[in-house]
Amino acid sequence: MKSYNPSDLRVVGLFGHRAAGKTSAAEALLYGAGATSRLGQVESGNLTLELDQEALERQMTVQICAGFFEHGGCRVSLLDTPGDSNFWGATNRALGVVDAGLVVVSAADGIEPMALRTAQELGELGVPQAVIVTKLDKDNTSFLSVVDEVKTELSKEAVALSLPMQRGGALAGVVSLVTRRAYAVEGERVVETDVPADMADEVATARELLFDAVAAYDDDLAEKYLEEGELSDDEVASGLRAAFAHAALTPVFAAAPTQNIGTDAILHALVNVFPSPLERPAIKGYRDTTMEQPREIKPDPAGPLVAQVFRTFHDPFAGSLSFARVFSGTVRANEDVYNSRRDAADRPSHLYYPMGSTKGGVEVKEAGAGDIVVITKLKHTSTGDTLTSKDDPTYLPPFSEPEALLAFGIRGAEKKDEDKISGAMARIAQEDPSLRFERDSESKEMRLAGLGQAHIDYVVGRLGRAGINVELREPKVPYRETIRAPVKGIEGKHKKQSGGSGQFGVCLINVEPLPRGSGFEFENQIVGGAIPRQYIPSVEKGILDTLGQGPLSGNEVVDIKVTLYDGKYHSVDSNDMAFQAAGRKAIKEVFANPKAKPVLLEPYMHVEIACPADDVGDVMGDLNSRRARVSDMTTEGSRGRITASVPMNEILKYTNVLKSLTSGRGSFTMRFERYEEAPAAVQQQVVEAYQGQGGEES
């Protein structure tokens, strides 16, 4: 395979809402560049990049899918990402490894919540982004209306780089405003032609807007444009590239990927407008996991090795596959690397430029800065780990994983299934770090937590495909407990005497509330040996054990400070276990004390809803019935958007509700926002349910 310098590499991610056309766009780009011999179709499951059979059946992307193509003297690595907020963890990891983003917006549905969310994230990261407007072959769609919506909702610097071409009322191709060439559909081919005469005025007007956008970034070009009223094609291209590399301009492309319409204009831009790794700022790393010695990482193939794994996949034939972005240096097959997060040596067996996985990809002996590569059979490496050199190590912090929101009890449908769950879940959780799987040490109950119902359903499907049938218990809302007022002089006393040596330990504590989100603080003020030094950690451990399953509802206790100031011990009967028990009893006494004003906290979700404008009233009415606090509501044309804060318990099963309210045309995303005190009625209901089950976690 041809060798490329970093200046000729591109790493681009496709982002947007589910069903907006991201995967279709990826397939069209691969096909248009000649990397595949067929145009993959989502509906048929005939896709190039998707590895996961469960995802294929559900017709949804759930992990980062990677491929590459060569075009115009460049090699472009392409990452297709999930468009469902249930799989935000994967999308978020892709945001951290791309040099530019293509945000996909359906002309039929407009800007939906995940498009807005990913565009905002790209903006905050300073990553250049362009927009592909898809489904322009559908009835009653308007490219220019969506461009206006992009300017309002995503980027005021948005400017069209291509226009749709109509023939007999149907989409027949696009015109590139950069090359001033038309790309028209002729049978099953797309051919390059002159701009149709009837579009000359429209193209001239659109190019003036393009000149304005380019000149706004470059003073020299602005001066020439003001003087001459025109810019050359080379000046437009260079100005576009500079403005886009600095995220100062948002190109918008017209497309219908399922018909391969608009692909050529996007391919031209990927090569001539999108930045190489050399045009992006150096990334920040550290010498080690203490993160005390920062260092800049530049994309130099001869520099120190720095690569980060953004996806792990267990292939039934190839074994463990680690997808990584090489930021610096060169990784080689059968040459040791150092995992700076695990402090362990590892050795790549084979390297591939992936086309979905190794099958269909291209095996290489080495991969350098700017490459996306899949590495086989790493034994000590997981998602988020940094592969580097032992002699000159670098550590990149792992990706920020979203907090698991929805927790279910999980058990095997039969005994034989029960025994297999842990092993299978260990593999699935390694592939997706945003999942949480644990077994309660006391009750032995297994719990599975994810970002939403679809996330959990996907895991259940994966287990079923592996021959493991499971049953789920109702989701447990992650309430929290705390206190609203300080209490002093609380005694925890453990005394047991039943023949032989006894157990004795007494601790006295003061407890006070902390601001929301502070967690837990422990302060030791013991003086004079009232409690021997070796037993202080025992008291803290007993306290923490109880805080993990609070007395009110069995949920975690948060936002309190405990000060240990006095106690008693016995020279013979005191031990570690006695003081742990004393700590546990002290905390229970705090929550039994009405002066502490114990309270239940409930999680609120930030919810963004997109729906037809005609349905906004019904959706608002339903939200109000769910104790929602609506912060924003807008309607523009035929579309409406609502932003609200909603108690998690009220929106657990909202997907079907929204489908019913909007005849299947509504969509939403949600993410954790904050904790608030639960209303008295909710608090009473949760506490009574917990006590009704004997104080055991529901």
Question: Which whole number is the average pLDDT over 171-199?
Answer: 93
**For the chain, how big is the Rg over CA atoms in Å?**
29
CATH of the domain at 661: 3.30.70.240
Q: Token pair of 659, please?
A: 């489908």
Q: How confident is the model at residue 697 (pLDDT cuts 50, 70, 90)?
A: very low
SS (H, E, C) 488-514: EEEEEEEEECCCCCCEEEEEEEEEEEC
Question: Which whole number is the average pLDDT over 110-125?
Answer: 94
Q: Token pair of 374, please?
A: 């899949």
CATH of the domain at 423: 3.30.70.870
In this predicted structure, the answer to whether residue 612 has a pLDDT above a threshold of 80 is: yes
- Say yes or no: 114 and 18 in one domain: yes
Domain count, the chain: 5
Q: What is the CB neighbour count within 10 angstroms for residue 144?
A: 15
- Say yes or no: 329 and 457 in one domain: no
Residue 399 counted as domain residue:
no
Residue 175 counted as domain residue:
yes
Domain that holds residue 492: 480-596
Q: What is the mean pLDDT of the chain?
A: 92
Residue 397 counted as domain residue:
no
Question: Which whole number is the average pLDDT over 262-272?
Answer: 96
Please write the tens of the pLDDT for every residue from 517-571.
999 999 999 988 999 999 999 999 999 999 998 888 989 999 999 999 999 999 8
In this predicted structure, the answer to whether residue 208 has a pLDDT above a threshold of 70 is: yes
**Pick from 244, 279, 314: which residue ends a domain?**
279
- Say yes or no: 503 and 642 in one domain: no
Question: Which whole number is the average pLDDT over 359-381?
Answer: 94
**Pick from 596, 613, 630: which residue ends a domain?**
596
- Say yes or no: 228 and 318 in one domain: no
Residue 398 counted as domain residue:
no
Per-residue model confidence (pLDDT) at position 44: 84
Question: Which whole number is the average pLDDT over 385-410?
Answer: 93
Cα torsion 393, 326, 23, 662: sign: positive
CA atoms of 671 and 687, how far apart (whole Å) = 25
- Say yes or no: 274 and 292 in one domain: no
Q: How confident is the model at residue 191 (pLDDT cuts 50, 70, 90)?
A: very high
Please give the angle made by the CA atoms of 467, 473 and 478, to the nearest 5 degrees: 125
3-state secondary structure (DSSP) of residue 687: helix
Question: Which whole number is the average pLDDT over 468-482?
Answer: 90
C-alpha closest to that of 434 among 452, 461, 409: 452
- Say yes or no: 666 and 562 in one domain: no
CA atoms of 626 and 388, how far apart (whole Å) = 50
- Say yes or no: 325 and 434 in one domain: no
In this predicted structure, the answer to whether residue 492 has a pLDDT above a threshold of 70 is: yes
CA atoms of 2 and 9, how far apart (whole Å) = 12
Question: Which whole number is the average pLDDT over 282-309?
Answer: 95
**Pick from 254, 279, 304: which residue ends a domain?**
279
- Say yes or no: 506 and 520 in one domain: yes
Residue 10, Cα to own-chain centre: how many angstroms? 22
Q: How confident is the model at residue 500 (pLDDT cuts 50, 70, 90)?
A: low
Per-residue model confidence (pLDDT) at position 443: 62
C-alpha closest to that of 673 among 550, 548, 515, 516: 516
Q: Which residues in 258-305 belong to E strands, given as ranges? A: 283-286, 294-297
Query: CB of 558 within 8 A of CB of 481?
Result: yes
Annotate 104-138 with DSSP letters as a single string: EEETTTBS-HHHHHHHHHHHHHT--EEEEEE-TTS
Question: Which whole number is the average pLDDT over 44-68?
Answer: 92
Q: Which residues of 187-219 are buried (b: 16+ CB within 10 A; e: fewer)?
A: eeebeeeebbeebeeebeebbeebbebbbbbbe
Q: Which residues in 356-416 belong to E strands, given as ranges? A: 357-364, 366-368, 372-376, 386-388, 406-412
Give 667's strand partners: 610
Cα torsion 230, 234, 237, 239: sign: negative
Residues 6+ positions from 416 with CB-CB distance below 8 Å: none
Query: What's the distance, Cα to Cα, between the start and end of the chain in Å?
Result: 57
Annotate 45-105 with DSSP letters as a single string: TB-SS---HHHHHHTS--S-EEEEEEETTEEEEEEE---SGGGHHHHHHHHTT-SEEEEEE
Per-residue model confidence (pLDDT) at position 121: 95
Residue 580 counted as domain residue:
yes
Please write the tens of the pLDDT for every residue from 562-600.
999 999 999 889 999 999 999 999 999 999 999 999 999
In this predicted structure, the answer to whether residue 698 has a pLDDT above a threshold of 90 is: no
CATH of the domain at 151: 3.40.50.300
Cα dihedral: 562, 567, 573, 579 (round 10) = 0
- Say yes or no: 107 and 207 in one domain: yes
Q: What are phi and psi of 398, to 5 degrees?
A: -60, 160
- Say yes or no: 430 and 542 in one domain: no
The burial of 133, by beta-carbon neighbours within 10 Å (0-12 exposed, 13-18 middle, 19 or more buried), is given as buried
Give 47's strand partners: none
Tell me the pairing of strands 100-106 and 65-71.
Answer: unpaired
Residue 621 counted as domain residue:
yes
Residue 78 counted as domain residue:
yes
* Residue 466, CA distances (Å) to 190, 191, 359, 459 in order: 43, 46, 21, 11
The half-sphere exposure of 243 on its side-chain side, counting CA atoms within 13 A, is 26
Residue 45 counted as domain residue:
yes
- Say yes or no: 159 and 222 in one domain: yes
Please write the tens of the pLDDT for every residue from 424-455.
999 999 999 999 998 866 567 898 999 888 99
CATH of the domain at 295: 2.40.30.10
Q: Token pair of 200, please?
A: 């000359």
Tell me the pairing of strands 250-254 and 129-134.
Answer: parallel
Q: What is the CB neighbour count within 10 angstroms for residue 25?
A: 26
Give percent above pLDDT 90 in the chain.
78
Per-residue model confidence (pLDDT) at position 441: 62
- Say yes or no: 355 and 502 in one domain: no
Per-residue model confidence (pLDDT) at position 26: 97
